[in-house]
Amino acid sequence: MEDRDTLVNLYYTMVLIRRTEEKILELLLQGKLASSMCHVSIGQEAVATGVCSAMQPQDYLTSTHRGHGHIIARGGDLRRIIAELLGRETGYCKGRGGSMHLVDVQLGHLGSNGIVGGHIGIATGAALWSSLQNDGRVTVAFFGEGAMTEGIFHEAANMAALWRLPIVFVCENNQYAMSLPWTHATAEHSFARKGEAYGMPGIEVDGQDVLAVRQVALQAIERARRGEGPTLIGAQTYRFLGHSRGDPSPYRDKEEEARQRARDPIRLYQEHLFREGIMTQADVDALEAKVAEVIADAVRFAEESPPATLDSVLEDVFA
Amino acid sequence: MRRIRYREALREALREEMQRDPRVFVIGEDVGRYGGAYAVTQGLLQEFGPKRIIDAPMSEAIIVGAALGAAVVGGRPVAEIMYIDFATLAMDQIVNQAAKLHGMFGGQLKAPLVIRTQQGTGRGAGPQHSQSLEAWFAHVPGLKVVMPATPYDAKGLLKSAIRDDNPVMFIEHKGLYALEGEVPEDEYTVPIGVADVKRPGNNVTLIAYSNMVHTALAAAQELSQIGISAEVVDVRTLAPLDMDTLIASVTKTRRAVVIHEASVFGGFGAEIAASLQERLFDILAAPVRRLGGLHVPLPAHSQLEKQVVPGVTQVVQVVKEMIGAEVAVRSTSA
Ligand SMILES: Cc1ncc(C[n+]2csc(CCOP(=O)(O)OP(=O)(O)O)c2C)c(N)n1
């Protein structure tokens, strides 16, 4: 049984991701984001939260174009996230990377990526180095199911299994790659069989159940740390909103959307916490108030920060 | 004449060629249900069905590879790569395979394949979604590289590309899709390998392609107000390159500026500038100048992005420098 702090923290993280992304969408509509390129993960918070909660401080992760949740769940600095999106010098990439390129090297977050699957190579390489150094670190590669049809995924999975690299492949299967349904993207939908083909366990998990995700991630990460090689996790989730701004998802069935939205990971977990008597409505209200304050502080910080400059872009071309 | 948008002109070209030739089909990511990331293929799935508008998995290498294989045995595929940045994932198929088949196998195989893609800045899409990579492709023997600037050229050139028996990189610009221009309703094509004088002039030739044609035209307009007559030549096709038209223009004006959005360093402007100087050294009134993007990973920050690529002000400035410098030389020698 998990201790209360852990359980409450999971809830806090999920709510923080959700409210931050709601705020980001608001800032986007107000025209305040430095770039309109922005993908939110609303509906998928349990995956980032559950997996990151299972990681150790020394571990690495790589992230995607839909990466706000990963960096927040890893404990990223919300001030620097918002500053990045608003194009400020104080942002994670000095304001020039925007939503798709968040990174926090101190936290072992090796970067979000605009090239779907591109970071899976980096994750595999980080795990290779950990294996060569025997440094006890594990790397988590987050990606969408769309990335599994890219060549780099297959090459990485093969190599990682072959050399028993300490890596966990976390597929956030939100069912759509832009408009392409998962059923139209691959003929084999079983993660168990997909994993087996590479020589690694493939485990499917309800990605809307944060505790289930956490359990699966804990096992996979420990297995990797023991030197037993990679695991492929298929977390079944759903992208509640469009692929990006201005995508009303006309290609999705509205009934399917309603059914999936009814399985809101935050609400499901809240019900669990209430049922188990771990949190009360008053606790939730207090937590929401705290989250609102943290976000307001981050926005204030970002808005007061100096804008990104071209000079700094020019300086950083080479190390 | 009727005016339509660049994206509509492209769609018309696809539709007409698909109607004309049953071997033509479209394959790519989100080209069907979604209608294309930039809405070029909107409605075509409904019209032609899923066997001719094929939504592929996110797999750039095999999208190009499959298109290529189909082309070799009789198809006329138009593969869409959503952003040119992702063409890097298909580079083997484009560079080592598609470009080589004809020459390598003694002319026995053909690859009548079009790779439609788009590039450039304008959306703050950042370093992995805004690059201008045309020079890479132009550098590969066996590939044709087409970069239309107007709806008229987009339609006419796409039709020619589809009818061409060689692999064609058809590079659109994300900032041009909403641009309106005159496009006749009657059938026409624009030949590949022919540049176009978009505005006649006498004192300087502004050589550009893709979106920079519009920057050049705006600069020419501004220059005309200070008595400088600029000719704007739209290269339209980088490979094969129509040097004759460029030479004819620069022979007349004796000055040239090459403008593109890609970074100047190693950019295609160097090819044009070098060729002009080799052929016209004796008659040039000033060294050929190049204007292009800064050599940096493109910032996702929209304001910074604007500062990285050349604008009208820089073009006007460079032309003034060229002509001003000459006037200064002339007056001291007088
Ligand atoms: C190599 C590459 N191909 C295509 C794209 C365009 N694109 C961006 S996100 C996306 C869908 C990604 O689907 P998935 O990996 O499942 O992640 P999701 O967006 O569902 O989170 C596509 C096609 C890209 N960024 N990179």
Task: Tell me whether residue B189 is in a domain.
Answer: no
The predicted pLDDT at position B135 comes to 98
Q: Which residues of B touch A34 (CB under 8 A)?
A: 124, 300-304
Specify if B14 maps to a domain.
Answer: yes
pLDDT at B331 over 90: no
pLDDT digits 0-9 by tens, A89-120: 999 999 999 999 999 999 999 999 999 999 99
Contacts with B33 from chain A: Cβ below 8 Å: 179-180, 251
In a domain, A93, yes or no: yes
- B102 and B201 part of one domain: no
| B256 and B213 fall within a common domain | yes
- B19 and B164 both lie in a single domain: yes
Please say whether the beta carbons of B329 and B296 come within 8 A: no
Residues of B with Cβ-Cβ distance to A317 under 8 angstroms? 295-297
Given an 8 Å threshold on Cβ–Cβ distance, is B124 in contact with A313?
A: no
Question: Which residue numbers of B have CB closer than 8 Å to A's CBs?
Answer: 29-30, 32-34, 37, 55, 57-62, 85-86, 89, 123-129, 294-297, 299-304, 307-308
B238 and B125 assigned to the same domain: no
Question: Can you tell me the distance from the alpha carbon of A237 to that of A268, in angstroms, rounded to the nearest whole number?
Answer: 13
pLDDT tens-place string over residues B2-21: 999 999 999 999 999 999 99
B120 plus B223 within the same structural domain: no
Do both B167 and B256 map to the same domain?
no
Asked whether B57 and B82 are in contact (CB, 8 A), the reply is: no
Q: How far is A260 from chain B (nearest CA, A)?
A: 21
Pick the atom of ligand 1 nearest to A114's CA: 25
All residues of chain A having their beta carbon less than 8 Å from the beta carbon of residue B29 are: 177-178, 180
Ligand 1 atom with the shortest distance to the CA of A65: 9
Question: Can you tell me the mean pLDDT for B316-320?
Answer: 97
- Which pLDDT belongs to residue A180? 98
Q: Which pLDDT band holds residue B325 (cuts at 50, 70, 90)?
A: low
Tens-digit pLDDT profile for residues B243-289: 999 999 999 999 999 999 999 999 999 999 999 999 999 999 999 99
Q: How many domains does chain A have?
A: 1
- In a domain, residue B188? The reply is no
Report whether A97 contacts B297 (CB < 8 A).
no
Chain B residues whose CB is inside 8 A of the A85 CB are none
Residues 6+ apart with CB under 8 A from A132: none
Measured in degrees and rounded to the nearest 5, phi and psi for residue B36 equal: 90, 140
The CATH code of the domain that includes B139 is 3.40.50.970
Residues B174 and B252 in one domain: no
Of B155, B182, B209, the last residue of a domain is B182
Ligand 1: residues with CB < 6 A are A 65-66, 114-116, 143-147, 174, 176-178, 239, 243; B 29, 58, 60, 82, 86, 89
Residue A79 has pLDDT above 50, yes or no: yes
Q: Quick check: is A315 in a domain? A: no
pLDDT band at B326 (very low <50, low <70, confident <90, very high): low
Longest dimension (CA), chain B: 73
On whether both B176 and B213 belong to a single domain, the answer is no
What pLDDT, in 10s, does the model give residues A184-220? 999 999 999 999 999 999 999 999 999 999 999 999 9
User: Is residue A312 in a domain?
Assistant: no
- Would residue A268 count as lying in a domain? yes
Instruction: Give the domain range for residue B124.
Output: 3-182
If asked whether residues B288 and B213 sit together in one domain, one would say yes
* Ligand 1 probe mutation, A21, A39, A65, A115, most atoms within 8 A of CB: A65
Contacts of A314 in chain B (CB under 8 A): 294, 296
Q: Which of B35, B89, B39 is nearest to B64 (CA)?
A: B89
- Asked if residue B190 belongs to a domain, the reply is no
Q: Which of B57, B124, B308 sits opposite A98 (nearest CB)?
A: B124
Per-residue pLDDT tens for B143-196? 999 999 999 999 999 999 999 999 999 999 999 999 999 999 999 999 999 999
Q: Is the pLDDT of residue B330 over 90?
A: no
pLDDT above 70: residue A311: yes
A10 and A214 in contact (C-beta within 8 Å)? yes
pLDDT of res. A302: 98
State both tokens at B264. Answer: 């100047």
A245 pLDDT above the threshold of 90:
no
Question: Ligand 1 centre and the CA of A65: distance in Å?
Answer: 8
Query: How many cross-chain Cβ pairs, A to B, lie less than 8 Å apart?
Result: 119
Of the pLDDT bands very low, low, confident and very high (cuts 50, 70, 90), residue B328 is: low
Both B95 and B147 in one domain: the answer is: yes
B308: enclosing H helix or E strand: helix B302-308
Mean pLDDT across chain B? 96
Which whole number is the average pLDDT over A48-60?
Answer: 98
Q: What pLDDT, in 10s, does the model give residues A129-172?
A: 999 999 999 999 999 999 999 999 999 999 999 999 999 999 99
More confident residue, B333 or B142: B142
CATH number of the domain where residue A287 is located: 3.40.50.970
Q: Atom of ligand 1 at shortest distance to CA of A118?
A: 1
> Per-residue pLDDT averaged across A47-64, rounded?
98
**Does B126 contact A101 at a Cβ distance shorter than 8 Å?**
yes
How far, in Å, CA of B302 to CA of A38, rounded? 13
Q: Is B187 inside any structural domain?
A: no
In a domain, residue B236? The reply is yes
Kindly report the nearest CA distance between residue B30 and chain A, in angstroms.
6
pLDDT exceeds cutoff 60 at A7:
yes
Site from A85, A119, A179 to mutate, B interface, most B CB atoms within 10 angstroms: A179
The owner of tokens 């359990």 is A215
Spatial separation of the C-alpha atoms in residues A153 and A265, rounded to whole Å: 27
Judge: A98–B295 Cβ closer than 8 Å, yes or no: no
CATH number at residue B277: 3.40.50.920
B128 closest CB neighbour out of A114, A151, A307: A114
Looking at chain B, how many residues does it have? 334
CA distance A245 to chain B (A): 12
Give yes or no for residue B332 having a pLDDT over 60.
no
Last residue of a domain, one of B132, B148, B182: B182
Number of domains observed in the structure of chain B = 2
**pLDDT tens across A125-136, in order?**
999 999 999 999
Parent domain of A206:
4-306
Q: Annotate B181-197 with b (16+ C-beta within 10 A) or e (fewer).
A: bebeeeeebbebeebbe
State the best of B46, B53, B58, B88 to mutate against chain A, taking most chain A CBs within 10 Å: B58
The domain boundary, picked from B134, B149, B182, lies at: B182
CA distance to A147, B119, B127, B268, B309, per residue, from B131 (Å): 21, 6, 7, 14, 11
* B166 & B119 share domain: yes
The answer for residues whose C-beta is within 8 angstroms of residue B57's C-beta and 6 or more apart is A146, A149, A177, A180, A184, A185, A186, B29
Q: Do B128 and A310 touch (CB under 8 A)?
A: no
pLDDT, residue B334, reads 47
- Given a contact cutoff of 8 angstroms between Cβ atoms, the answer to whether A94 and A66 are in contact is no
Is the preceding peptide bond at B240 cis, omega within 30 degrees of 0? yes
- From A227, A217, A56, select the one nearest A133 (Cα to Cα): A227
* B178 and B210 share one domain: no
Residue B135 lies in a domain: yes
How far is Cα B12 from Cα B288, in angstroms, rounded to an integer?
A: 38
Query: Residues A32-50: what's their mean pLDDT?
Result: 97
Does the distance separating the beta carbons of A146 and B303 come in below 8 Å?
no
Option in B86, B128, B301 nearest A95 (CB) = B301
Q: Is position B295 annotated as part of the catalytic site?
A: no
- ipTM associated with this complex: 0.96
Helix axes A265-275, A4-29, angle to 10 degrees: 150
Q: Is residue B321 part of a domain?
A: yes
Q: Of B192, B210, B206, nearest to B256 (Cα)?
A: B206
Q: What is the pLDDT of residues B17-57, one digit of tens each?
A: 999 999 999 999 999 999 999 999 999 999 999 999 999 99
